[in-house]
């Protein structure tokens, strides 16, 4: 009878194939979880921005309240993100924006009584940015004077 020391080439190849399948499956799972996390963050910021802009649109829906910056609600907080809100007026003849009011995470509420009621078109921009990231999730809304 012959003594066997070690593995045959078939056993080694089968082991390598099984290991390869496990590595590929693990990589797909990990990258899927990363994509899922990114999608969740994008969805959170999109929903927060959309809800905020809808609320501002409703608040500014009458001539008496349009452009009254002092009644702006605070921007919704999204975990691990800073936010910035800009209120700009748009010159309808040139299309140029003049952004004069900025509210950020560090200064959550506008403490003035400025209005933009003289402008026929106002743009509201909400930006969410993760600390240390270069890119931001930006949502904007143009509102015309009612």
Tell me if 89 sits within 8 A of 117, measured CB to CB: no
The pLDDT, as a whole number, for residue 14 is: 92
- DSSP code at position 142: E
Per-residue pLDDT of the chain (146 residues; tens, 9 = 90+): 566 677 888 989 999 999 999 998 888 887 777 767 778 888 888 899 999 999 989 988 888 888 888 778 888 888 888 888 888 888 888 888 888 777 777 665 555 555 555 778 888 889 898 878 888 888 888 888 87
The pLDDT, as a whole number, for residue 1 is: 55
The pLDDT, as a whole number, for residue 29 is: 80
In a domain, 21, yes or no: no
The pLDDT, as a whole number, for residue 26 is: 86
In a domain, 14, yes or no: no
In a domain, 10, yes or no: no
Q: Is 88 exposed, middle or buried (0-12, 13-18, 19+ CB in 10 A)?
A: buried
Q: Tokens 């999608």 map to which residue? A: 39
The pLDDT, as a whole number, for residue 50 is: 92
In a domain, 51, yes or no: yes
Q: What is the pTM of this model?
A: 0.68
The pLDDT, as a whole number, for residue 85 is: 87
The pLDDT, as a whole number, for residue 3 is: 65
The pLDDT, as a whole number, for residue 44 is: 86
Residue 100 belongs to what H/E stretch?
A: strand 97-104
Domain that residue 127 falls in: 31-144
Q: Look at the chain and report how many structural domains it folds into.
A: 1
In a domain, 91, yes or no: yes
Select from 113, 109, 105 the least CA-distant residue to 130.
Answer: 105
In a domain, 45, yes or no: yes
The pLDDT, as a whole number, for residue 17 is: 93
């Amino acid at each position: 009878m012959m003594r066997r020391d070690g593995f045959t080439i078939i056993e080694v190849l089968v082991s390598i194939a099984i290991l390869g399948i496990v590595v590929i499956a693990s990589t797909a799972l990990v990258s899927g979880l990363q994509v899922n996390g990114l999608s969740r963050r994008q969805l959170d910021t999109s929903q927060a921005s959309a809800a905020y802009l809808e609320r501002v649109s409703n608040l500014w829906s009458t001539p008496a309240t349009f452009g009254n910056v002092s009644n702006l609600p605070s921007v919704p907080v999204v975990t691990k993100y800073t936010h910035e809100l800009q209120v700009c007026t748009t010159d309808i003849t040139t299309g140029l924006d003049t952004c004069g009011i900025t509210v950020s995470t560090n200064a959550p509420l506008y403490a003035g009584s400025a209005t933009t009621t003289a402008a026929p078109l106002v743009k509201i921009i909400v930006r969410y940015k993760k600390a240390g990231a270069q890119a931001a999730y930006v949502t904007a809304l143009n509102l015309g004077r009612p």
